């Protein structure tokens, strides 16, 4: 069965009766003069349609008797064909989304169609809806949801419609991954592994962080994707103690550690992997001592993952290992001192977004994909270490989807030799 049809059916079960949903696929933001940023499809739109085209609208209508899906797309003009290529056709959109081709129309029809369903006539079998679902995501408190801009004319024209937030439902549904999503994540992780191996092989010939990042990008491109799920972190030495360091432009000092946090994207699904390795190919005794603490925390926390846990319980479990081990080597004396060297949570949801939507008040359950990423960041020693894996929660525990990406000290040193 089509995975996007499955996703829509799951969503229909959550929606109120006598409701309409409008969801825009997005447009590429303007960059400068005649240049635009690369287009990134709305992840909720892709989740429900599989279509990656800009300037499309998904409409879902739910009544007491039935649920229907409609899709509104751009029509390809002669000018488009010559300058940017053809847009998706009705036939292609129907095949991808499994929306009946009779319910796929061109964008100019959208406003008339909404006006029709909002007006009860003898020829219209759909009673006017009472609720309108919109994607109410806000990138910050300073910004209104993009849906306000796209569909403000309908909000203003039909004030009797109660506007509800689509994200209340998609943030729950997207926590649970189906077989198709898991396969895409596995592919993204496999490509990421190839990129990491390439970096570790070539680092002895590189002098700057961005040169090592270039090796990663070249390798994942050779493996079928030029897309990453987020800006790559390629941090050496003291830069690795900055959690979201993204400049990636400093000289790599001899005998320093290199922390990479990166993820190739495959069919909109992103890997998220962190590995730390020595620029020289061999860990110093001190680097190894600290690395083994982070590795122990990573491995034991993965073994601890199971359905029924809260995120707090998972965080506390990992943090207590770090506290115990850091006390053992006398890096800290009191428990609360750990915040000086470890200042983030153990992980997050992963999927269509690298920090995927989800409801953290819900206990961890089968079908979720999480990251497990403990770290230690010791500024005074210019050492930053993070080891991150992507795990699928199962009935009795979890499967480490990134288990093939080496992380043992001996394995790393042997590979780099």
190 and 73 housed in the same domain: no
364 and 315 housed in the same domain: yes
Q: Which of 139, 153, 376, 386 is nearest to 262 (CA)?
A: 386
136 and 218 housed in the same domain: no
H helix intervals, 282-408? 285-304, 311-328
Give the integer Cα–Cα distance in Å for 310 and 360. 8
**Do 225 and 245 meet the contact criterion of CB atoms below 8 Å apart?**
no
Report CA torsion sign: 260, 37, 78, 45: positive
What pTM did the predictor assign? 0.96
What range does the domain containing 155 cover?
3-173
Give the integer Cα–Cα distance in Å for 310 and 303. 15
CB-neighbour burial class of residue 77 (10 A; exposed 0-12, middle 13-18, buried 19+): exposed
CB-neighbour burial class of residue 206 (10 A; exposed 0-12, middle 13-18, buried 19+): middle
Give the integer Cα–Cα distance in Å for 369 and 196. 21
111 and 211 housed in the same domain: no
Domain of residue 71, CATH code:
3.40.350.10
3-state secondary structure of 265: strand
List, in order, residues 6 or more apart from 5 with CB less than 8 Å away: 97, 98
- How many domains does the structure of the chain reveal? 2
Beta bridge pairs of residue 262: 273
Q: Which of 25, 56, 24, 58 is nearest to 40 (CA)?
A: 25
Domain of residue 280, CATH code:
3.90.230.10
H/E run at residue 150:
helix 146-157
| pLDDT of the residue at 122 | 54
What are the tokens at 211?
């040169």
12 and 108 housed in the same domain: yes
CB-neighbour burial class of residue 246 (10 A; exposed 0-12, middle 13-18, buried 19+): middle
Final residue in a domain of this structure, among 140, 173, 206? 173
List, in order, residues 6 or more apart from 199 with CB less than 8 Å away: 212, 215, 216, 219, 258, 260
| pLDDT of the residue at 360 | 97
- The residue ranges of DSSP E strands in 116-232, in sequence order, are 131-134, 162-165
315 and 386 housed in the same domain: yes
Give the integer Cα–Cα distance in Å for 190 and 69. 35
Per-residue pLDDT of the chain (417 residues; tens, 9 = 90+): 899 999 999 999 999 999 999 999 999 999 999 999 999 999 999 999 999 999 999 999 999 999 999 999 999 888 878 887 899 999 999 999 999 999 999 999 999 999 999 987 655 566 799 999 999 988 777 788 889 889 999 999 999 999 999 999 999 999 999 999 999 999 999 999 999 999 999 999 999 999 999 999 999 999 999 999 999 999 999 999 999 999 999 999 999 999 999 999 999 999 999 999 999 999 999 999 999 999 999 999 999 999 999 999 999 999 999 999 999 999 999 999 999 999 999 999 999 999 999 999 999 999 999 999 999 999 999 999 999 999 999 999 999 999 999 999 999 999 999
18 and 165 housed in the same domain: yes
Q: Which of 193, 238, 262 is nearest to 411 (CA)?
A: 193
- Report which DSSP code applies to 327: H
97 and 197 housed in the same domain: no
H/E run at residue 170:
helix 167-173
What are the tokens at 269?
């699904």
Give the integer Cα–Cα distance in Å for 75 and 93. 12
230 and 131 housed in the same domain: no
Final residue in a domain of this structure, among 124, 147, 173? 173
Rounded to 5 degrees, what are φ and ψ at 168? -55, -35
Final residue in a domain of this structure, among 139, 173, 207? 173
**Do 22 and 147 meet the contact criterion of CB atoms below 8 Å apart?**
yes
What are the tokens at 167?
């994200």
272 and 359 housed in the same domain: yes
């Amino acid at each position: 069965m089509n995975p996007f049809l499955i996703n829509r059916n799951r969503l229909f079960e959550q929606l109120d009766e006598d409701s309409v949903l409008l969801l825009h696929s997005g447009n590429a933001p303007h960059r400068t003069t005649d240049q635009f940023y690369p287009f990134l499809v709305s992840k909720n739109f892709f989740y429900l349609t599989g279509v990656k085209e800009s300037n499309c609208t998904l409409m879902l209508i739910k009544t007491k008797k039935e649920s229907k899906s409609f899709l509104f797309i751009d029509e390809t003009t002669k000018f488009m064909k010559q300058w940017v290529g053809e847009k998706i056709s009705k036939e292609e959109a129907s095949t991808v989304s499994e929306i009946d081709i009779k319910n796929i129309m061109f964008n100019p029809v959208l406003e008339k169609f909404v006006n029709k369903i909002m007006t009860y006539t003898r020829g219209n079998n759909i009673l006017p809806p009472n609720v309108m679902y919109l994607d109410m995501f806000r990138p910050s408190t300073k910004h209104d949801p993009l849906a306000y801009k796209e569909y403000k004319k309908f909000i203003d024209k039909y004030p009797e419609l109660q506007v509800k937030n689509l994200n209340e439902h998609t943030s729950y549904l997207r926590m649970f991954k189906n077989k198709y999503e898991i396969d895409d994540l596995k592919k993204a992780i496999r490509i990421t592994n190839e990129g990491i191996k390439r970096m570790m092989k070539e680092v002895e010939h590189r002098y700057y962080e961005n040169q090592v990042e270039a090796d990663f990008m070249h390798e994942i491109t050779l493996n079928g994707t030029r897309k990453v799920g987020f800006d790559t972190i390629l941090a050496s030495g003291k830069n690795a103690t900055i959690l979201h360091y993204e400049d990636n432009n400093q000289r790599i000092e001899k005998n320093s550690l290199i922390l990479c946090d990166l993820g190739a994207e495959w069919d909109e699904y992103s890997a998220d992997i962190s590995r730390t390795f020595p620029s020289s190919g061999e860990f110093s005794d001190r680097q190894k001592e600290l690395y083994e603490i982070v590795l122990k925390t990573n491995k034991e926390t993965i073994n601890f993952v199971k359905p029924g846990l809260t995120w707090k319980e998972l965080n506390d479990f990992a943090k207590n290992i770090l506290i115990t081990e850091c006390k053992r080597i006398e890096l800290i004396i009191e428990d609360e001192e750990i915040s000086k060297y470890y200042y983030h949570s153990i992980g997050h949801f992963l999927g269509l977004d690298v920090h995927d939507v989800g409801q953290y008040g819900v206990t961890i359950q089968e079908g979720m994909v999480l990251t497990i990423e403990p770290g230690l960041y010791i500024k005074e020693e210019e050492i930053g270490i993070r080891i991150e894996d992507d795990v699928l929660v199962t009935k009795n525990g979890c499967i480490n989807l990134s288990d093939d990406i080496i992380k043992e000290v001996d394995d790393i040193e042997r590979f780099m030799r």
